[in-house]
Structures are given as structure tokens and as C-alpha cells.
Structure 1
Amino acid sequence: MRVFIDTSIFVDCLRSNPVISSKNFLESIEGENSGFTSTIVVAELSVGAYLSQRADAIEKTFRIISAASIIDLNKEIAMLGGKIYSELVREGKEIELNDCLIAATALSSGIKEIATRNGDHFKKIKGLKAVTPEDLGF
């Protein structure tokens, strides 16, 4: 099973009281080459780490991210993200551009499922199924 991992799942694990299902999910994919994420997710997580008052926030963030293979943003993914965003705007279903870029990264990599706590955003995107760790049995 190949699954894309949204920022919210990593955030679950960075909380002072981690969400156990998300923690178990990330542990299960580590080293399996089945979990993927985007450089956009890395950027979103790094904002939280750099704003954090915790001395170990950056180290902890990079350790959590290492559970997944990171897919770099390129011009094809950027163009697809722009297309997804513009289609959603036209349909009156606008979501954040970052989420469209994250979805475009998954779709361009042939990944059809995204583990997220923001299912209401990603369910608007054709060809992508939003799931939670609980949906995946964790």
C-alpha cells in the first residue's frame, strides 16, 4: 500500500500528547517505502518547528519527517497544483493552494490515498481519497 501523508498526521505526532493512531501509522510505514510526503509538507512543519519554544522542536520534526519518502516539488507538480486550485475556485470549492500542491504531488506520483485530518479539503479533489490512520486500521 502506498499512501501520501499530509501535514496534519505529522502534527498529530509532534503534539505534547501524540495521537496514538497517527504515531502507530507512521511507525508502520517507516523503512517500508510505502509512505510519501511533499516538500510543501516539510515547509509547513518547519514553520511550526522554528516558531516553537521547544529547544528540540527542529530535531524532533526532522526525525518525524524521516518516516516518509519526500517528493520534491517540480514544475509539472506546480502546474497540476495550479490546475487543481483553479478548478476548485471555479466550482466554488476553494481550498488552500498548499493543499492543492500537496494533492498534486500525490497524484503525479500515482498515489491515490492521502492520510490526513483535513479530509474535508482533500475530498474535493478528483482522483484522491482522503483517509485517516483509523480508516487504515490504526
Structure 2
Amino acid sequence: MRPPLDPYDVLIHLSPKQVPLLSQAVDPPHATFSRGILAGRVANTGGALPVIDFNPVTHYLAELRDAFGDLALFFYDPYGGTVIAVLWKPKAFTPLPFKTSQMVARRVEVSGEEAHTVPNVEAILEDFRVMGQGLVKSVEPRTEKWVV
């Protein structure tokens, strides 16, 4: 089953070479990726040690949820998915009264004598790229439903 991606606000496309369970995907690739070859004689080095239970995508997803869980929901197929779908929470774009403790991923907008904070979407999208460096291939904002 392949879910539609239309309802999501942002799509984070992952590099297929970095997805460890890619072979379990709904549409597995026709070609497989080589993880590299050791230089020198393997017998002298004791052989290659397999990396077990390391999934960079789940670590990245946990970091995203920890940093931006108050603003968005993150969806991912743990069996070889190459896209993390982001859905803004309904109250994410509600202006909040200015407080220095609530300035994470927000910017200040001043109207008259009142200062409010709103999400800084451009900075959040850049954070998605920076936090996933080497893992994220591209970040695709879908701005039909919201404004950057």
C-alpha cells in the first residue's frame, strides 16, 4: 500500500543510500548499493564488522520530533521509506504573546504596540536540511495551504 502524499505540508526526501531497510520498501530499487570495500587484506584486519541495529533515519526522526514536535507531526514508513512527511499542527501558526522562553523556531512580529511570535518556517525548513546533513536529499515545502 502506498499512501498519498498530497495532504502533507512538507516532504523531506531521504537519500536512498542512507536508508538501511530500503530492500523492505513497497517498491524496492532494482539496483542495490555497495556500502564500500575495505582496503588491504581482510584477514589482517579481522574482517569487516557488520553494523547492527543502526538506523540513521529513526535517529533523525527522533531529533525532528524532539525539536519541532510542538509545531508539526512527522510520518515515516519504517520499512524502507524514503520520504518523511510533515503535517503542521492546526495551532502551529497561531500568534503567541512574545516571551523569550518561547523563541525556539519562532520570529517576532510587531503590530502596533504588541509583539507576537509566529513560526519561522524558512528557518525550520533550513533546520530540517542541516539536522539531516548527509541523509536528507531535499526538502519540498508544499505551500498551497500555508505561506512561507
Q: TM-score normalised to the size of structure 1?
A: 0.29
Structure that is richer in helix per residue: 1
Bigger relative contact order (CA 8 A; separation at least 6): 2
Larger radius of gyration: 2
Structure that is richer in strand per residue: 2
